[in-house]
Structure 1
Amino acid sequence: MKNTVLTALIVCTSLGVLVFASTQLHNSLYRLAARNLIENLQQRNVETFESQLFQQLSSSLINTPCANAHDYTTSAKLSQWNAFLNTSLTTDRTKFLLEKSTWLRPTWSPSYSELASLNGESHKNRSKQELLLLSSKFGPYRPSTKLAQINFGFSNWELLEQDFRLLSLQNLLSISSVWRYRPALNQMIIYSKGKRRICNLLTFNQIQVEACG
């Protein structure tokens, strides 16, 4: 009897480990595919666009028992790209995914940065600023956090208090000194409403960035 129970226990444990391992492998493959797709999109290396692929990949990332805050943030990014390439202004799904990410892990800073990017520039500056401060609180050294604060700070310079202006300045000088972050910084500057002010500061500090000419 004892041998039977022990054997059953070993079999159940082995099956559990196997299921867990296969689930983790499934998640890892989808995470890798999503990351590569987003990187190619950011570098404009995607020649064809299939909306169905975006939707399937976005759903597959979160429809597993092990889906975490990072998966929801990545899924939201794919959803955002899908809406952009479809020339759609709808951001409801993206917001839902990001809010779910903050619920799963309240200290996951990228979710707050992405939520801030979805808020309009007019009459919602305070809401966006609060989101960026939360992002800074939980991930002050993340490039995505710094870039989001720089963009917002220099785009809304006249409306902000001195402390947030100083934070924007510090982040710009900090991230521009790291070469591996230059591509992301360059891309942010190209589309930023605060491009002229950013470029003037970089030029004053003798820092050359492609987007500033």
Structure 2
Amino acid sequence: MSAIKLSKAKFTISAPDIRKLPIDAGIEVAFAGRSNAGKSSALNTLTNQKSLARTSKTPGRTQLINVFEVEPEKRLIDLPGYGFAKVPLEMKKKWQKALGEYLQMRDSLKGLVVLMDIRHPLKDLDMDLIHWAVDSGLPVLALLTKCDKLKKGQQASQVLSVKKALKELGGDIKVQAFSSLKKTGLESANQVICQWFDQEVNEAEGEV
């Protein structure tokens, strides 16, 4: 069992770009997904907090990089949602730039949680993101959200289909169904994220 508790997460800062983020040291696990994938709800469920990440009836409201500290030098990062049409193009470009810079330039990034609505997974932008993570040697946890909207058999079928599609990319990719409403997949997702934090710490200690 990991000693790390995601429930200890506390909001520290919202940054428009990486220049305003905390010092690039320690371990960060980032959450990314389309604007209507239920990212904020998933973060709240994983940390067992009702309003750590602000949920909104209007997708696409996460315009900043939001930082939550779990322990000193261990952070959860809520990245701007992507792919939602009802925002001005200039604003969309700004978010995409902040997202891209973070992914490419942040050394502390050690794991990526990609959230996709289980009914509409693997859109082009999702695939681009997962491709990039695999090429960068980053482990990925693909959470297929809102699984309560499907029957058990349909859930299993979607998970299998996504696993098959992503297996071709190689890399360290885990796929699972998730529901913020029913808490489905909560324990296993929590375990993967805590392992990423633990693994990096253990590796660092092994180098000493």
Structures share a fold, TM > 0.5? no
With structure 1 as the length reference, what TM-score do the two structures score? 0.34
Higher relative contact order (CA 8 A, sep 6+): 2
Tell me which protein shows more strand as a share of its residues: 2
Point out the structure with max Rg over C-alpha.
Answer: 1
> TM-score, length-normalised on structure 2?
0.35
